[in-house]
Amino acid sequence: MDLGALVAEASAILDAASEPFLAGHRADSAVRKKGNDFATEVDLAIERQVVAALTATTGIGVHGEEFGGTDVDSPWVWVLDPIDGTLNYAAGSPMAAILLGLLHHGDPVAGLTWLPFTDQRYTAVAGGPLMKNGAPQPSLASLALADSLVGVGTFSADSRGRYPGRYRLAVLENLSRVSSRLRMHGSTGIDLAYVADGILGGAVSFGSHVWDHAAGVALVRAAGGVVTDVAGEPWTPTSRSALAAAPGVHAEILEILSSTGEPEDY
Protein backbone atom coordinates (compact mmCIF):
# COMPACT_ATOMS: atom_id res chain seq x y z
CA MET A 1 0.00 0.00 0.00
CA ASP A 2 1.16 3.54 -0.79
CA LEU A 3 0.38 5.12 2.57
CA GLY A 4 1.10 8.64 1.35
CA ALA A 5 -1.39 8.29 -1.48
CA LEU A 6 -4.01 6.83 0.85
CA VAL A 7 -3.59 9.73 3.26
CA ALA A 8 -3.91 12.22 0.40
CA GLU A 9 -7.16 10.60 -0.72
CA ALA A 10 -8.47 10.45 2.84
CA SER A 11 -7.50 14.09 3.41
CA ALA A 12 -9.69 15.23 0.52
CA ILE A 13 -12.55 13.16 1.93
CA LEU A 14 -12.18 14.72 5.41
CA ASP A 15 -11.99 18.19 3.85
CA ALA A 16 -15.36 17.52 2.22
CA ALA A 17 -16.76 16.23 5.52
CA SER A 18 -15.65 19.43 7.26
CA GLU A 19 -18.43 21.37 5.56
CA PRO A 20 -21.33 19.53 7.25
CA PHE A 21 -19.23 19.37 10.44
CA LEU A 22 -19.00 23.18 10.58
CA ALA A 23 -22.60 23.69 9.52
CA GLY A 24 -24.00 21.38 12.20
CA HIS A 25 -22.40 23.00 15.26
CA ARG A 26 -24.67 22.83 18.33
CA ALA A 27 -26.64 19.95 16.84
CA ASP A 28 -29.02 18.25 19.26
CA SER A 29 -28.78 14.65 20.43
CA ALA A 30 -30.27 12.17 17.99
CA VAL A 31 -29.21 8.79 19.39
CA ARG A 32 -28.85 8.16 23.11
CA LYS A 33 -25.96 5.86 24.03
CA LYS A 34 -24.47 4.55 27.27
CA GLY A 35 -24.53 6.91 30.26
CA ASN A 36 -24.80 10.57 29.22
CA ASP A 37 -23.25 9.93 25.81
CA PHE A 38 -25.13 10.49 22.58
CA ALA A 39 -24.72 10.97 18.84
CA THR A 40 -26.09 13.83 16.76
CA GLU A 41 -27.56 13.58 13.28
CA VAL A 42 -24.31 15.15 12.09
CA ASP A 43 -22.32 12.22 13.55
CA LEU A 44 -24.48 9.81 11.58
CA ALA A 45 -24.41 11.82 8.35
CA ILE A 46 -20.64 12.36 8.38
CA GLU A 47 -19.98 8.70 9.07
CA ARG A 48 -22.17 7.65 6.13
CA GLN A 49 -20.48 10.22 3.86
CA VAL A 50 -16.90 9.34 4.84
CA VAL A 51 -17.46 5.57 4.79
CA ALA A 52 -18.96 5.68 1.30
CA ALA A 53 -16.16 7.88 -0.03
CA LEU A 54 -13.31 5.93 1.58
CA THR A 55 -14.65 2.59 0.41
CA ALA A 56 -15.14 3.81 -3.15
CA THR A 57 -11.82 5.67 -3.36
CA THR A 58 -9.40 3.42 -1.45
CA GLY A 59 -11.10 0.02 -1.60
CA ILE A 60 -10.45 -0.43 2.13
CA GLY A 61 -13.31 -1.09 4.52
CA VAL A 62 -14.21 1.21 7.40
CA HIS A 63 -15.09 0.59 11.04
CA GLY A 64 -17.04 3.58 12.37
CA GLU A 65 -18.11 4.53 15.87
CA GLU A 66 -21.79 4.83 15.03
CA PHE A 67 -22.47 1.97 12.59
CA GLY A 68 -19.56 -0.44 13.03
CA GLY A 69 -18.59 -2.03 9.73
CA THR A 70 -15.42 -3.87 8.75
CA ASP A 71 -13.86 -5.85 11.61
CA VAL A 72 -11.04 -4.02 13.38
CA ASP A 73 -8.87 -7.16 13.17
CA SER A 74 -9.02 -7.14 9.34
CA PRO A 75 -5.64 -6.95 7.53
CA TRP A 76 -6.46 -3.39 6.44
CA VAL A 77 -9.20 -1.21 7.93
CA TRP A 78 -9.94 2.47 8.39
CA VAL A 79 -11.20 3.40 11.89
CA LEU A 80 -13.44 6.47 12.00
CA ASP A 81 -14.83 8.73 14.70
CA PRO A 82 -17.01 11.23 12.81
CA ILE A 83 -17.18 13.66 15.74
CA ASP A 84 -14.84 13.17 18.67
CA GLY A 85 -15.98 15.41 21.50
CA THR A 86 -19.70 15.19 20.66
CA LEU A 87 -20.72 16.75 23.99
CA ASN A 88 -18.45 19.71 23.20
CA TYR A 89 -19.82 19.89 19.67
CA ALA A 90 -23.44 19.95 20.80
CA ALA A 91 -22.69 22.57 23.46
CA GLY A 92 -21.00 24.90 20.97
CA SER A 93 -17.40 24.32 22.02
CA PRO A 94 -14.80 24.25 19.20
CA MET A 95 -12.96 21.34 20.87
CA ALA A 96 -14.24 18.65 18.54
CA ALA A 97 -12.55 16.71 15.75
CA ILE A 98 -12.86 14.13 12.99
CA LEU A 99 -10.56 11.16 13.64
CA LEU A 100 -9.45 8.63 11.03
CA GLY A 101 -6.82 5.95 11.54
CA LEU A 102 -5.59 3.21 9.22
CA LEU A 103 -4.78 -0.14 10.83
CA HIS A 104 -2.65 -2.81 9.19
CA HIS A 105 -3.00 -6.05 11.15
CA GLY A 106 -3.86 -3.89 14.18
CA ASP A 107 -0.93 -1.50 13.80
CA PRO A 108 -1.86 2.19 13.28
CA VAL A 109 0.17 2.95 10.15
CA ALA A 110 -1.54 6.25 9.30
CA GLY A 111 -3.57 8.83 11.16
CA LEU A 112 -5.60 11.91 10.31
CA THR A 113 -7.09 14.31 12.86
CA TRP A 114 -9.12 17.26 11.58
CA LEU A 115 -10.10 20.17 13.88
CA PRO A 116 -12.36 22.16 11.54
CA PHE A 117 -13.21 24.95 14.01
CA THR A 118 -9.54 25.82 14.57
CA ASP A 119 -8.42 24.96 11.03
CA GLN A 120 -5.85 22.40 12.18
CA ARG A 121 -5.21 19.28 10.11
CA TYR A 122 -2.80 16.64 11.34
CA THR A 123 -1.61 13.68 9.27
CA ALA A 124 1.11 11.08 9.61
CA VAL A 125 2.25 7.75 8.25
CA ALA A 126 4.46 5.23 10.02
CA GLY A 127 8.02 6.48 10.17
CA GLY A 128 7.01 10.15 10.33
CA PRO A 129 7.19 13.03 10.25
CA LEU A 130 4.05 14.53 11.72
CA MET A 131 2.41 16.87 9.21
CA LYS A 132 0.39 19.89 10.34
CA ASN A 133 -1.60 21.69 7.66
CA GLY A 134 0.69 20.09 5.09
CA ALA A 135 3.97 21.14 6.71
CA PRO A 136 6.38 18.69 8.40
CA GLN A 137 6.88 19.21 12.12
CA PRO A 138 10.03 18.58 14.18
CA SER A 139 10.34 15.42 16.22
CA LEU A 140 9.40 15.65 19.87
CA ALA A 141 12.24 16.44 22.26
CA SER A 142 12.63 14.82 25.67
CA LEU A 143 10.72 16.82 28.26
CA ALA A 144 10.19 16.89 32.02
CA LEU A 145 6.69 16.39 33.40
CA ALA A 146 7.06 19.47 35.62
CA ASP A 147 7.39 21.62 32.50
CA SER A 148 4.51 20.03 30.57
CA LEU A 149 0.80 20.43 30.05
CA VAL A 150 -0.98 17.10 30.52
CA GLY A 151 -4.32 16.13 29.01
CA VAL A 152 -6.72 14.03 31.06
CA GLY A 153 -10.22 12.75 30.33
CA THR A 154 -13.45 13.82 31.95
CA PHE A 155 -15.22 11.54 34.43
CA SER A 156 -17.50 11.28 37.44
CA ALA A 157 -15.86 10.68 40.81
CA ASP A 158 -18.65 8.19 41.59
CA SER A 159 -18.25 6.15 38.39
CA ARG A 160 -17.27 2.49 38.63
CA GLY A 161 -15.98 0.12 35.99
CA ARG A 162 -12.42 -0.85 35.12
CA TYR A 163 -10.99 2.53 36.18
CA PRO A 164 -13.23 3.86 38.99
CA GLY A 165 -13.67 7.58 39.46
CA ARG A 166 -11.87 7.54 42.81
CA TYR A 167 -8.85 5.93 41.15
CA ARG A 168 -8.85 8.59 38.44
CA LEU A 169 -9.05 11.29 41.10
CA ALA A 170 -6.01 9.77 42.81
CA VAL A 171 -4.12 9.75 39.50
CA LEU A 172 -4.94 13.43 38.93
CA GLU A 173 -3.94 14.31 42.49
CA ASN A 174 -0.58 12.58 42.09
CA LEU A 175 0.02 14.09 38.64
CA SER A 176 -0.76 17.55 40.01
CA ARG A 177 2.01 17.23 42.58
CA VAL A 178 4.51 17.25 39.71
CA SER A 179 2.65 19.22 37.06
CA SER A 180 0.00 21.75 38.04
CA ARG A 181 -0.90 22.12 34.35
CA LEU A 182 -3.59 19.48 33.90
CA ARG A 183 -6.09 20.06 31.08
CA MET A 184 -9.50 18.53 30.29
CA HIS A 185 -10.32 19.17 26.63
CA GLY A 186 -13.16 16.64 26.46
CA SER A 187 -11.72 15.03 23.32
CA THR A 188 -9.26 12.15 23.43
CA GLY A 189 -8.38 12.64 19.78
CA ILE A 190 -7.45 16.28 20.33
CA ASP A 191 -5.36 15.36 23.37
CA LEU A 192 -3.37 12.86 21.31
CA ALA A 193 -2.93 15.25 18.38
CA TYR A 194 -1.71 17.92 20.78
CA VAL A 195 0.82 15.50 22.27
CA ALA A 196 2.11 14.83 18.76
CA ASP A 197 2.29 18.59 18.11
CA GLY A 198 4.17 19.28 21.34
CA ILE A 199 1.33 21.35 22.82
CA LEU A 200 0.79 18.74 25.54
CA GLY A 201 3.70 16.87 27.04
CA GLY A 202 1.44 13.88 27.66
CA ALA A 203 -2.14 12.63 27.79
CA VAL A 204 -3.86 9.88 29.78
CA SER A 205 -6.97 8.18 28.44
CA PHE A 206 -8.95 5.63 30.44
CA GLY A 207 -11.17 4.88 27.44
CA SER A 208 -11.20 1.62 25.51
CA HIS A 209 -12.64 2.64 22.13
CA VAL A 210 -10.30 2.04 19.21
CA TRP A 211 -11.83 4.91 17.22
CA ASP A 212 -10.79 7.38 19.95
CA HIS A 213 -7.17 6.27 19.83
CA ALA A 214 -6.13 4.86 16.44
CA ALA A 215 -5.52 8.14 14.59
CA GLY A 216 -3.74 9.77 17.52
CA VAL A 217 -1.50 6.79 18.21
CA ALA A 218 -0.23 7.03 14.62
CA LEU A 219 0.35 10.78 15.00
CA VAL A 220 2.23 10.52 18.30
CA ARG A 221 4.45 7.68 17.15
CA ALA A 222 5.28 9.48 13.89
CA ALA A 223 6.24 12.56 15.92
CA GLY A 224 8.68 10.54 18.02
CA GLY A 225 6.46 10.14 21.08
CA VAL A 226 5.68 7.03 23.10
CA VAL A 227 2.27 5.33 23.32
CA THR A 228 1.37 2.46 25.65
CA ASP A 229 -1.56 1.58 27.86
CA VAL A 230 -1.51 2.88 31.45
CA ALA A 231 0.30 -0.28 32.59
CA GLY A 232 3.12 0.37 30.13
CA GLU A 233 2.17 -2.38 27.68
CA PRO A 234 2.25 -1.57 23.93
CA TRP A 235 -1.01 -0.02 22.71
CA THR A 236 -3.16 -2.28 20.56
CA PRO A 237 -6.74 -1.94 19.24
CA THR A 238 -7.92 -4.02 22.22
CA SER A 239 -6.19 -1.85 24.84
CA ARG A 240 -8.47 -0.53 27.57
CA SER A 241 -6.50 2.70 28.04
CA ALA A 242 -3.76 4.82 26.51
CA LEU A 243 -0.81 6.83 27.75
CA ALA A 244 0.78 9.04 25.08
CA ALA A 245 3.64 11.38 25.83
CA ALA A 246 6.90 12.90 24.75
CA PRO A 247 10.08 11.02 25.63
CA GLY A 248 10.89 11.62 29.28
CA VAL A 249 7.35 12.60 30.23
CA HIS A 250 6.03 9.13 29.40
CA ALA A 251 8.33 7.46 31.92
CA GLU A 252 7.44 9.98 34.64
CA ILE A 253 3.69 9.57 34.16
CA LEU A 254 4.03 5.79 34.04
CA GLU A 255 5.83 5.87 37.39
CA ILE A 256 3.04 7.98 38.91
CA LEU A 257 0.41 5.59 37.58
CA SER A 258 2.30 2.66 39.05
CA SER A 259 2.69 4.33 42.45
CA THR A 260 -1.04 5.18 42.58
CA GLY A 261 -1.86 1.50 42.97
CA GLU A 262 -4.32 -0.84 41.32
CA PRO A 263 -7.68 0.50 40.09
CA GLU A 264 -9.55 -2.33 41.84
CA ASP A 265 -8.27 -1.03 45.18
CA TYR A 266 -10.47 2.04 44.74
Is residue 13 annotated as involved in ligand binding? no
Contact of 175 with 152, CB cutoff 8 Å: yes
* Closest to 127 measured CA to CA, from 7, 26, 262, 257: 7
Residue 119 annotated as lining a ligand binding site? no
3-state secondary structure of 147: helix
Specify whether the CB–CB gap between 238 and 154 falls below 8 A.
no
Would you place residue 115 in the very low, low, confident or very high pLDDT band (cuts 50, 70, 90)?
Answer: very high
The answer to whether the pTM exceeds 0.85 is yes
Structural domain boundaries in the chain: 3-136, 145-265
Share of the chain above pLDDT 90, in %: 89
pLDDT digits (tens, 9 = 90+) for 205-231: 999 999 999 999 999 999 999 999 999
Residue type, 176: S
What are the tens digits of pLDDT across the range 55-104? 999 999 999 998 999 999 999 999 999 999 998 998 899 999 999 999 99
- Contact between 190 and 97 (Cβ < 8 Å): yes
- Please give the Cα distance from 231 to 244 (Å, whole number): 12
Hey, which bits of the chain come out as E strands?
Answer: 29-32, 38-40, 62-64, 68-69, 76-84, 97-104, 107-115, 120-125, 131-132, 135-136, 150-152, 182-183, 202-205, 226-228, 242-245
Is 81 flagged in the annotation as binding? Answer: yes
Mean pLDDT, rounded, for 124-151:
97
pLDDT band for 40, please (50, 70, 90 cuts).
confident
Give the pLDDT score at 253: 98
Say if residue 4's pLDDT is above 90: yes
The whole-number pLDDT of residue 139 equals 97
3-136 homologous superfamily: Fructose-1,6-Bisphosphatase, subunit A, domain 1 (3.30.540.10)
In the CATH hierarchy, which top-level class contains the domain 145-265?
A: alpha beta
15 appears as a binding residue in the annotation:
no
The verdict on whether residue 65 carries a ligand-binding annotation is yes
